């Protein structure tokens, strides 16, 4: 399934049906009076967060969603049928934005959450509605109310517990593949990851979700590379795991580049809890490992963990550190009979 995290849709609610002007005319009934029914209400457009979706790909093939109009009223006091509503089924984590792409209309964060996007028009009153003691034969009826037409943007922000950050080829996909059942594409060239990947990780009888996004480069907040487009997917994460390639000749510069892009992106992303890990230590000897670790600790001003997604050295310690940063209500407990997804 192709990943799509931004889609433009056009919606229109149904118009209400017109009221009817009618009089009862039957043989041997002298005073029939008005009997025009009301028009039916137009269909409403809704958005609903559903389980089992993790992409907006369905909205690439259908962008127009028009609800049905209400039927006009009819004689013999018959009310028109209401128009059928339309429901846009979106993944959990979808933001619904106005046409300016800035005004947030709704944030779909829970399964079953339902939001009204465009209300259907009311049906018009038939002449029966206007009958009174002083106006016993009204010859007026109301037209139905027009529907609402809108252009909206759907923007998906994956709901994950941990977000992976790092330069291209920092080993993020390898780490995800080593700790979960996810199978992202892994290769030795930059930008192997072209869209976010999710993996469920198990450690100490609890599970949490890790999101792997494409790597960042200098100037990403200005549109360079592709990682900046996906930074929104880690906005909802509880903790960030910043992987630094230990085999790089510019370890400190790589670290500072990612931190600079987080700060330039804005919001609360740079202030989220963050764990820094020196990756690919299996390719370093003791001296090189110690030198890279010392430089990175000095640059970050805090502790740095060491790990290797290939040899899995230090991976369990990193997972436990991540687990300690995630709120208990976000963790999913596993039955005691199940084994952890992670295996040494």
131 is in an annotated binding site: no
127 is in an annotated binding site: no
Among candidate residues 18, 8, 13, 64, the one with its CA nearest the CA of residue 39: 18
166 is in an annotated binding site: yes
81 is in an annotated binding site: no
214 is in an annotated binding site: yes
240 is in an annotated binding site: no
Residue 185 to residues 17, 194, 224, 271, Cα–Cα distance (Å): 54, 9, 22, 30
135 is in an annotated binding site: no
22 is in an annotated binding site: no
129 is in an annotated binding site: no
13 is in an annotated binding site: no
260 is in an annotated binding site: no
281 is in an annotated binding site: yes
94 is in an annotated binding site: no
212 is in an annotated binding site: yes
47 is in an annotated binding site: no
Strands (E), the chain: 6-12, 45-50, 64-66, 86-91, 94-97, 104-108, 114-118, 149-156, 162-165, 197-203, 206-212, 239-245, 274-279, 305-306, 332-333
125 is in an annotated binding site: no
258 is in an annotated binding site: no
33 is in an annotated binding site: no
29 is in an annotated binding site: no
217 is in an annotated binding site: no
* 258 three-class SS: helix
98 is in an annotated binding site: no
192 is in an annotated binding site: yes
191 is in an annotated binding site: yes
Residue 107 φ then ψ, to 5°:
-125, 110
52 is in an annotated binding site: no
* CA gap 340, 166 in Å, rounded: 26
Would you list which residues are annotated within the binding site? Answer: 166-173, 191-195, 212-215, 279-282, 308-310
Would you list which residues are annotated within the binding site for GTP? Answer: 166-173, 191-195, 212-215, 279-282, 308-310
Would you list which residues are annotated within the binding site for Mg(2+)? Answer: 173, 193
């Amino acid at each position: 399934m192709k990943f799509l995290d931004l889609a433009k849709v056009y919606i229109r609610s149904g118009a209400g049906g017109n009221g009817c002007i009618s009089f009862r005319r039957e043989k041997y009934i002298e005073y029939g009076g008005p009997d025009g029914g009301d028009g039916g209400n137009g269909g409403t457009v809704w958005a609903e967060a559903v389980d089992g979706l993790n992409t907006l790909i369905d909205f690439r093939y259908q962008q127009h969603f028009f609800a049905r109009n209400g039927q006009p009223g009819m004689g013999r006091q018959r009310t028109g049928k209401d128009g059928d509503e339309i429901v846009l089924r979106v993944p959990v984590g979808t933001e619904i934005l106005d046409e300016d792409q800035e005004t947030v209309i709704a944030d779909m964060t829970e399964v079953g959450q339902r939001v009204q996007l465009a209300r259907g028009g009311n049906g018009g009153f038939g002449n029966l509605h206007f009958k009174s003691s002083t106006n016993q034969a009204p010859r007026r009826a109301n037209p139905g109310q027009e529907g609402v037409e809108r252009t909206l943007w759907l923007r998906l922000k994956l709901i994950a517990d941990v977000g992976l950050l790092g330069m291209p080829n920092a080993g993020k996909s390898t780490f995800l593949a080593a700790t979960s059942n996810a199978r992202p594409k892994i290769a030795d060239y930059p930008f192997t990851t072209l869209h976010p990947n999710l993996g469920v990780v198990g450690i100490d009888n609890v599970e949490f979700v890790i999101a792997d996004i494409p790597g960042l480069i200098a100037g990403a907040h200005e549109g360079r590379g592709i990682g900046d487009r996906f930074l929104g997917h880690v906005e909802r994460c509880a903790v960030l795991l910043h992987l630094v390639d230990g085999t790089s000749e510019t370890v400190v510069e790589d670290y500072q580049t990612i931190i600079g892009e987080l700060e330039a992106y804005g919001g609360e992303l740079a202030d989220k809890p963050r764990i820094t890990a020196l990756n690919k230590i299996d390719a370093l000897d003791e001296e090189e490992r110690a030198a890279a670790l010392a430089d990175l600790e000095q640059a970050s001003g805090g502790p740095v963990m060491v790990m290797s997604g290939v040899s899995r050295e230090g991976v369990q310690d990193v997972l436990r550190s991540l687990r300690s940063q995630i709120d208990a209500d976000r963790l999913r407990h596993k039955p005691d009979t199940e084994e952890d997804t992670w295996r040494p």
